Structure 1
Amino acid sequence: MNDKLLKTGIVGTVIAALCCFTPVLVVLFGVVGLSAVVGYLDYVLFPALGIFILLTAYALWRKYSQSRT
């Protein structure tokens, strides 16, 4: 389970970082016709990025603490 948690955290962090720091999501919303939502992306993506970073750190901490015992 610990590796699954770590993989989820890393994948989520990469996806959220790509959407935060590149215009991938903005272009996708523009193509689909949801460009009015683009102004609210920061309210969702930055907390999601933080949550996934914390999830990755927690999984690494659990993996490290289990290997010590």
Structure 2
Amino acid sequence: MSGPHEPPETQPDRSGLLKFGLIGTVILALCCFTPLLVVLFGVVGLSAVLGWLDYVLLPALAVFIGITLYALWRRGRS
């Protein structure tokens, strides 16, 4: 029983996880498959870090793809 002063029950926002996963995947894919970060790091003067970039970008891309797939799986179940 809900009274007149109680807030209506709402569904939790499930699209936030999907948006987060998709935005992260797109940004990391651009950084992995284009010379975007290479040029940016060269301009800023951090070109010595470029050798270590793959150790961070590829696992992060896998994590964001996993988040996106999990959000799509949850959306399909509901």
Share of identical aligned residues, percent?
Answer: 68
CA distance in 1, matches of 2:14, 2:67: 11
Please tell me whether residue 10 in structure 1 is matched to residue 27 in structure 2. no
Amino acid aligned to 2:74: R
Q: TM-score, normalised by structure 1?
A: 0.93
Amino acid aligned to 2:72: L
Offset at residue 2 of structure 1 (A): 1.2
Q: Which protein is bigger by CA-based radius of gyration?
A: 2
Please tell me whether residue 33 in structure 1 is matched to residue 45 in structure 2. yes
Higher helix share: 1
Q: TM-score, normalised by structure 2?
A: 0.83
Query: Unaligned 5+ residue runs, structure 1?
Result: none
CA deviation vs aligned residue, 1:18-69 (integer Å, no higher than 9, x gap): 0000000010000000000001010000000000000000000001101xxx
CA distance in 2, matches of 1:42, 1:34: 15
Structure 2 partner of 1:56? 68
CA-based RMSD of the aligned residues comes to 0.5
List 4+ stretches of structure 1 deviating above 3 A. Answer: none
Q: Alignment length, in residue pairs?
A: 66
